[in-house]
Each structure stands twice: as C-alpha cells, then as structure tokens.
Amino acid sequence: MPPPSFIATTATASGLRSGYLRDHHITQQRLRCEKVRLLYDNLWQPVLSSVLAGGLLVAAMWPVVNATLLLCWFVTLTVISGLRLLLAYRFKQMPIMQQHRRRWLRWFAIGAIAAGCVWGASGLLLFSAEHPGQVAALSIVLAGIAAGGVTTLSSVWWVALGFVLPILLPLKIQFMLMGTSLSILIGLMLVLFLALILIASRRFSYTIHDNIALRVSMAAREAQLQESENRYRSIFHHSPLGVLHFDAQGVITDCNNKLLDILGVGRAQLIGYRMLARSADSEVAQAVRDALGNGSGYYEGTYRLPQASEGTPLRAFFNGVNSANDERVGGVAIIEDFTERKHNEAIIYRQAYYDALTDLPNRRRFIERLKALCHEHDSKTRTGLVMFMDMDRFKLINDTLGHAAGDELLVHVARRLEQCLKENDMAARLSGDEFVLLALFDEVAPDALEAQAERYMQNVQQRLSGYYPLENRIVEVTPSMGYTCFKAAECDHAEVLKEADIAMYQAKTEGRARLRRYQPWMRDEVNKRMAEEASSLPAGR
C-alpha cells in the first residue's frame, strides 16, 4: 500500500490537473464564443456589399450572358445572403448562454460555404472566353469578394478557407482550360493570389485569436477582481469583527458598521481620525507605526477616542498594505471587542478567587498573596502578622436559628473585618466560620513589631466581639483568634499559616473570646494532645 504522503501528493497533483483542465476548457469555450460573436457582428456589411457587387456583375455580364441564367444566379445569391442576415438577426436576439451553443458556428459556416459556392458558380456559369472585358470584370469581382471574405471571416480560419476556395478554384480551372499561354499565366497568378490570401487569412486568424484571447483574459481578470472585491466588501460589511482602513499617514479612510458599534461613535467622528497624532492613544499609534514600518502591529487594551464618554476593551491586529510597486500605502486593522470577554474573565476570576457568600478573597487568593509576599525581593524591611479566627458557638447558631442566620452572621463578620484593614492588608474566608487576616507593617525591631501587632489584634477583637442582628434578633457572638508575626524576607508561607492555626487552636482550648499569639511551646502542646487522642482510640481503628 502506498504511503499516506504519496497518496496525498498524488491527490493534490490530480486536483491541480483537473482544476487546470477545467479552467482551460472554460477559456477555450469563451474564445470560441467570442470568435463566433465576431463573425456575426461583422456579417452585415460584407453581405450587403456582396449583393451590391453581384448586381454590378450582373449588369456587366448582361450583354454576353443569358439573362435568365444571370437572374437565377443573382436571386440565389440574394436568397442566401438574406438567410445569412436572418441568421445573424436571430443570433443577436438570443440570450448570451444560448449564443454559446456550437450550432451557431455550424450554421454560419454552412451559410458562408454556400455563399462561396454561389460566387464560385459564377466563375463557371458566367465565364465567357470570347469577351475578355467581361472576364476581367468577373475576375476582379471574384478576387475582391475573396479578399473581403478573408478580412471578415478569418477569426475562424477554416470558415474563411471554406468561403475562399469555392470562389477562386473554378475561375482558376477555367483559365487553365483555355490553354493559351496568357490564360495559363493568369491561372498561375490566381494560384499565387489564392496562396497569398490563405497565408494572410492564417495570419489574420492568429492576430484575431491573440486579440480575443487578450480581451477574454482581461475580462476574466476584471471579473475575478470584481468578484474578489465583492467578496471582500461582503466580509467587510458583514464581519462580526470591526475593520478599518488607514493610509500611510495613519489617517482612517474607511470602516465598517461593526467598528462603529464597538466604539459607540458615528462614522463622521471616525473617518479622517489621525491615529498618529499627538493626542491619539500612544499604544495604538505604536501599533500603526509597526504596521507601516514592519508589516504588522498589535494593540490590546481599553481604547477611548477623544470626547468619548468611556473606553472599550478591545484588541486590534494592524497589517500594512503595499501597492503594485511594493510601496507601503497604508494598512488595514481587524478589531475585536473584548467587553464581553473581559466581563466573563472578571466573573471567572471572581469565582476562582473570592468567596461567593461574603465577597472576601478565598483560601486560594490568600495563599497566593502570602506566598508572593514571601518571595518578593524588595520586602526585606517588611513585617506582618497572619491571624486565624473562627466564631464561637457558630454551630449552635446554625442549629437553632437556621442556616440563613449563620450565613448572615458570616456576612456581618466579613464586613467588620474589612473595616479593620489598612492599605495592602487582606482578609479572607477559608471555610465555614474560619477567617484569616494578613496585616503588613514597616517595623523591623522585634519589640516594636510585637507591640504594633498586639494593638492591631486587640482592635480586631474589639470590632468582632459584641452583638449581631440575626433573623430579627440580637445575638452576642465572640471570636477565638490566634496570630503569628513574621518577617517577609525570611518567611515560609506554609509555616506562617500553620503557626497562626496552632495559635487559634490554643485560644479555642482555653475557652471562648480568646486572643493568643503563637509561641513555640504551643506546637508541642498540640502534638502532645494529638498523641493522647490517638492513643485513646480503640485498637484497629
């Protein structure tokens, strides 16, 4: 079995070949149709001229040829000429697609060959060797008709050949049959004349073919360009993205309606706007310069036009446009409205990093903030504290007053915690009734840090202790809190959290409404208590 790459290559080549053959067939069909149209367009004048020439020939031959024969010949010529003109009229009345049928060329060729045969018959029927003057007139008329046919029928060479040969061959035979040296010489001259006419007809055919091919090619290119322009305009006007054109000076020359909707402005306000002006957005101006200089530019941000009431979150791709001489003449920009995306991103961020009930940062957000603080290079002089807290009797409130009252208590606690925060501080809800707080100080000395941390925590305890309105009742609730101090340059965020948790655990074991600062001995107490609880469990559990 051939490899997939070979099959793909073969399929591609086959597709290209079939596409080429299809385009070649269409081009040849258009060439043939244009040639047939040219034959019918040029028919009127030569046919009428041939009838007039036939009348003059009848007048010239009237004294020496039987009148009945002359009249019969002239009537035949007139009838065939009339049928050819009727055929041309019918062709002109047909729709374009009907004119493409091959039968129109076949009928034209039949008419042309029939007319040539009628003129050739005059060389046999009207030839009178005893009257050199009439023979000369006959020869001149037939030569003129043949030459005229070459100029009008050479777009299809074999039609010209079918018209000329029946005209000149009988006359040439007549001269050769006379047997005199002069007649033979005239016959040879007719052969030479016929050869020259055929050569000229062939050259005319090539010239006409090239001209028609050029015209068909230009028409096809114009049609392709028009189709391409129509496609682009359809995309331009109906695109779900904003599109604008700008010139080499960064002046907006055109835009679609979608861009006007995105920016919330009118067309008159946008067309002619100079994106490289000093008053314009500097980042947008740089993207335009990049497109004009390097071929592409990019902008993302909240864009606000002068005198606009508000900005629009968007991103824009700028691309340069070159002329036929490969000179940068301007560019085009594709603009995407980020308003909905920004809104969705904000919702996702809020859901990922904030508590839905209290609107405080959640555990993830708090840990990321503390972790970043412990890794900051410029936080050598920064100190702080982390507090763990839960509400006393929270389970009892939930069980007696209901979960709605419990949720209301958590919201009240969150609002009071926020009132305790200074700039750069953070409060977060971990889970249930557990809250955590991060406070930052600029104190480096241990004693000063301890004193400031103690004052801070006493303020927090005072704000959180007291009465809360829950379900049309006033309920007294107190917190149990533990905290630890740290230096940002030396901290381990996991260890800091663990120390604050141990301090709160110690506060809970000592009773309600307690505030405890972490001490190393508390860790030993916690480990000892956990070991005792583990040893008291039944074996096998």
Catalytic residues: 433
Residue at token pair 């480990």: 527
Exposure string over 203-213, b if 16+ CB within 10 A, otherwise e: ebbeebbeebe
Give the amino acid at 144: G
- Return d(Cα 275, Cα 290) in angstroms, integer: 13
The two tokens of residue 236 are 């331009």
- Angle formed by the axes of helices 4-41 and 67-93, to 10°? 130
Q: What are phi and psi of 255, to 5 degrees?
A: -160, 160
> Could you give the angle at the alpha carbon of 316 between the alpha carbons of 313 and 318, nearest 5°?
160
DSSP 274: B
Paired sense of beta strands 479-487 and 466-470, if any? unpaired
- Return d(Cα 449, Cα 385) in angstroms, integer: 9
DSSP-assigned beta bridge partners for residue 336: 315
Give the amino acid at 80: I
Paired sense of beta strands 466-470 and 515-517, if any? unpaired
Cα-based distances in Å from 254 to 228, 233, 273, 510: 18, 12, 10, 76
Residue 460 near residue 410 (C-beta atoms within 8 A):
no
